[in-house]
Amino acid sequence: MNYIENPKTAGSGIICCIPQTGTCSNNCPDCFFQSGRSYLEPLEKNLPNMPLLSDTVDMVVRVNDGNDSFNQILTVIDKTSNYRNKFYNTSIPVDLELYPAPVVLTINPGNCTDTTWHRVDPIPTNLMFVRFRANMWNVELADSAIEYYTHHDIPVVLTWMAYHEKESIGVEYYRDYEYRSRTKNAYHAIRHSAWKKAMDRYAMNKHVYSCGREGVVSGCRYCGNCLREYFSTMERIKSEA
């Protein structure tokens, strides 16, 4: 099976992999992976999607840019054991210390997106950052998550959600979104002006970042959050070993 590169991470120093077959049981709304718009369609033909070990030299492997690293966790860990530099991605806030590398946790997945978030306590050494699925109507929820995690010196990366259907956005927020292309497909995505208004809430918090750049550029090569926090976490792991 030929490896397929994620166009979002092209040129960034990150290479992605998905060790499992099938779709993700988390079934988060507006997830690109199983919306039928993924770069891996058809999934039944193109999964697992694993780069050759030789292709990962001098790269950082993002494990599970689709699906969830907690799904078949032992298989995921086994199939990625030969990758030297890697980090895992999950939205399941349990057994994070089992991952033999840094891990990114999405704290408000699925139906939690606008209502609640996962509070990890105690915080494991390998927690690289938490990812918050952000939009213009859950910023107060983001405030509470940011207060908790950044108090513990854990970075929070706000991933600004884009929507296939305009009806997913409340009428009062239509002005904050525009229909435009992102990486491969067109979505109703946040406008720069709305993004800036929201991000200004956290301008003085050194641990808060936005996925992508300026709310309008989604390519990883223009962002750098994952590479920065991966190496920072590896230094912390070594210092606490």
Distance CA 17, CA 86 (A): 10
Which neighbouring-strand residues pair with 89?
104
147-179 pLDDT tens trace: 999 999 999 999 999 998 899 999 999 999 999
Are 3 and 212 a contacting pair, CB within 8 Å?
A: no
Q: Choose among 239, 237, 230: nearest CA to 87.
A: 230
Q: Choose among 23, 16, 132: nearest CA to 72.
A: 23
- Neighbouring CB atoms inside 10 A of 106's CB total 24
Query: Is it the case that residue 36 has pLDDT exceeding 90?
Result: no
- What average pLDDT score do residues 198-227 get? 94
Distance CA 75, CA 100 (A): 13
Largest Cα span, the chain: 51
> Which of 1.20.950, 3.80.30, 1.25.40, 2.40.128 is the CATH number of 14-240?
3.80.30
Are 141 and 168 a contacting pair, CB within 8 Å?
A: no
Q: What was the pLDDT predicted at 166?
A: 93
- What average pLDDT score do residues 103-113 get? 95
| β pairing state of 103-106 and 86-90 | parallel
Distance CA 7, CA 160 (A): 18
Which regions of the chain does DSSP assign to beta strands (E)? 14-17, 60-63, 86-90, 103-106, 127-134, 156-160, 177-182, 185-190, 208-210
100: cis peptide before it, omega within 30°?
A: no
Would you list the domain boundaries of the chain?
14-240
178-203 pLDDT tens trace: 999 877 778 999 999 999 999 999 99
In this structure, what token pair is assigned to residue 61?
A: 């492997």
